[in-house]
Amino acid sequence: MAKKKAPETAPKRANNPNVMGLRPEVLEQPITQTLELNYMPYAMSVIVSRAIPEIDGFKPSHRKLLYTMYQMKLLGGARTKSANIVGQTMKLNPHGDAAIYDTMVRLSRGYGALLHPLVDSKGNFGKVYSRDMAWAAPRYTEAKLDAITAEFFRDIDQDAVDFVDNYDGSMQEPSLLPTTFPNVLVSANQGIAVGMASNLCGFNLEEVCDTTIAYLKNPDHDIMTTLKAPDFPTGGELLYDAAALSEVYKTGRGSFRVRAKWRYVKPENLIEIYEIPYTTTAEAIIDKVAELIKAGKVKEIADMRDETDLSGLKLTIDLKRGTDPDKLMARLFKYTPLMDSFSCNFNILIAGMPRVMGVGEILEEWTAWRMDGVRRRTYFAMKKKQDKLHLLKGLKRILLDIDRAIKIIRDTEEDAEVIPNLMIGFGIDQIQAEYVADIRLRNINKEYILKRVEETAALEDEIADLQDIVNSPKRIQKLIIGELEDVKKKFASPRRTDIIYEHEAEEILEAEPEVPDYPVHLFLSREGYFKKITPLSLRMSSEQKYKEGDGPAQQWEATNRDEIMVFTDKQQCYKARLSDFDDTKASVLGDYLPTKLGMEADEKALWACLPGDYSGHVLFFFENGKAARVELAAYQTQTRRKKLTGAYSDKSPLVCAFLLKEDLELAVHSTEGRCLVFHTAVLNPKSTRSTQGVGVMTLKPKYKLESVKPLGQTNIVNAARYRARSLPIAGALLKDVDRGEEQMTLL
């Protein structure tokens, strides 16, 4: 039976998903469309409205907080509770009170994250150099604007910047703050957006002002001559690298190193660290030092503690007797955050678009923006004077006949007709007529009116001067330079981060930990157990202990400072210092290399060698009959990398390897029972570690290369029978006499 057609009034699934018995339709949408419609607006909002600072040096959260405090009359006034400020700021920033208070903490003098704090704080605001020191709740702390913020709000009421509606349209807020100096370079700022980030370091205010003045006078000014290097509120020492800083100044990207300041207190035999890099915390340093002590890498430290108090940061290290503090600190700089890198990413919003810029470009953008602000401010002042001049010109007309003006007002019957009658009687416009009509009765005298009219000439001169400023970029630049000079005079402070030039830092930076040097004997088993034994210990007990089924594979004589390379079945090479291994005895199993070197699961050690000065070659022999001769220098690295991938070819399993210091003859055996003797000089060395090599022995499909030994270590009597004239070659069948086996005889 056919179903009846549903009436037109029946509910549709797509439009009515909640109708009983009906399931909503699932509409397919391409993932690209979903991202474009849903994710991209979110990403742009984070970039433009949250994470990336603008040319005034502020993110929206900073700007909203400072403007709210300015509106609360907290510039120069008494402090108020932080909770009060947070509540008022929510009129502009609806993202929650915790986020607003966190922003205030970072800008505060107590927290110390800025060279020139913007919030004058009272109470516990934590410390930038501490990870665990939490700040007090906003109901306990107090704050007001610091004096330097007057430079942000001087032109705020003079149309220097645009104002926009807040999130609900109930009030307006500035889109930027009209800073009188390049705050974007003075106040450090960091933000992580979607798909991009920003990390701006701070510079000394005096150096920034001098550089900006020099740039305004000469756009080709060499910035590095006046802007020496970044400056941090936590102090420390910046290791000056001219090339690295030049790259940062030009491109806005790059990094430089900052290290802690310390002093040695000789009577107590201790080290005091009193300034640390901006990028780390005291707790992170203590944790890392404790880790080094636990691992046995630092043995000169008896104790380390945090003695930070009201006078500032202080980390104290008690030294063991006989410790050289300079050498110890050189090691700590190398292995702990006491020396850290600051990575620069000068990403700034310019007209709503993120741009990574060098210092020169930032100054160019800031001066262009500031010149526009000064021009707008000057035009605003000129417009007000023009309006006043216009009123005074109307008043001058009245001066000609005051009695007539009084008569017109007295004879006018309706109030609404007073202004039109004055306009007709004296030939003035409505604004001038209203101004005249509002003059108080006691001021309708010649003396008052003459004084007002005398202002006309002075006003005209002032307006002409302001108009000239508006039309003259040179005069605007001169005004900006004057403001920069004033800012420098009021707020400049000495550098906190000292600059250490390369020749001063070289000795300490290159200092290496002292490793004792003494002879050792090395033993490697087939299962990958490694032992380092001193000659004295070996003389006392020379019988090596191995696991059941295990046995010796390689052994060497070396010194404790030598390096070892271990090759595995995963075509990887692990490098280690012999000093990293503990001295042991012959009666123990030793270190299990896969665990000691951090190998991958199921990875096994196949062969090891001592590279020495990396002269010579490594010979690899594979089951497919090929041999590869690789320069040992291919495994040498500038940095202390512990793992090299692609250490040899993965085309065929590795049979054996040799460290070749000088050429010799080798005997190659196959599972077919054939033997081949050749001289290693015929193999050309390669600089590529993963080279497949060249064919040495031709093999039938079911056979493979079995072993390789130096000819002198074999029992071959008639070597001429097996020598190859050219490679590859199948080799000759091995005779019994050359196997070294005794034949059975019948008695």
d(CA 3, CA 136): 73
Select from 372, 369, 473 the least CA-distant residue to 55: 369
CB 630 within 8 A of CB 618: yes
Name all contacts of 331-336 with Cβ < 8 Å and 24+ positions apart: 331/298, 331/511, 331/513, 332/289, 332/298, 333/259, 333/260, 333/508, 333/509, 335/288, 335/292, 335/297, 335/298, 336/285, 336/288, 336/289, 336/292
Using the structure block, give the residue that is written with the tokens 């830092």: 505
How many residues does this entry show for the chain? 747
Yes or no: say if 544 and 584 are a contact pair by the CB < 8 Å rule.
no
Which phi and psi (to 5°) does residue 166 adopt? Answer: -75, -175
Q: Is 519 in contact with 558 (CB distance < 8 Å)?
A: yes
What Å distances lie between residue 614 and 516, 632, 633, 656, CA to CA?
22, 5, 5, 20
Three-state DSSP string of 695-719: ECECCCCCCCEEEEEEHHHCCCCCH
Q: How far apart are CA 702 and CA 498, in angstroms?
A: 72
Instruction: Reply yes or no: is the peptide bond before residue 728 cis, omega within 30 of 0.
Output: yes
Pair 717, 737: CB distance under 8 Å: yes
How far apart CA 710 and CA 660 sit, in angstroms, is: 11
- The question of whether 140 is a catalytic residue gets the answer yes
Which of 124, 122, 127 is CA-nearest to residue 142? 122
Which of 44, 42, 39, 47 has the alpha carbon at shortest distance from 347?
A: 47
Residues 300-326: b if buried by 16+ CB within 10 A, e if exposed: bbeebebebeeeebebbbebeeebebe
Decide: 728 and 624 in contact? Cβ < 8 Å. no
CB neighbours of 460 closer than 8 A, spacing ≥ 6?
389
The helix (run of H) or strand (run of E) holding residue 345 is strand 339-345
Using CA of residue 466, residue 469, residue 475, residue 477, what is the dihedral sign?
positive
Q: Which of 42, 140, 501, 518 is catalytic?
A: 140
Whether the CB-CB separation of 520 and 558 falls below 8 Å is answered with: yes
Closest Cα partner for 550 from 518, 580, 598, 590? 590
The residues annotated with a catalytic role in the active site are 140
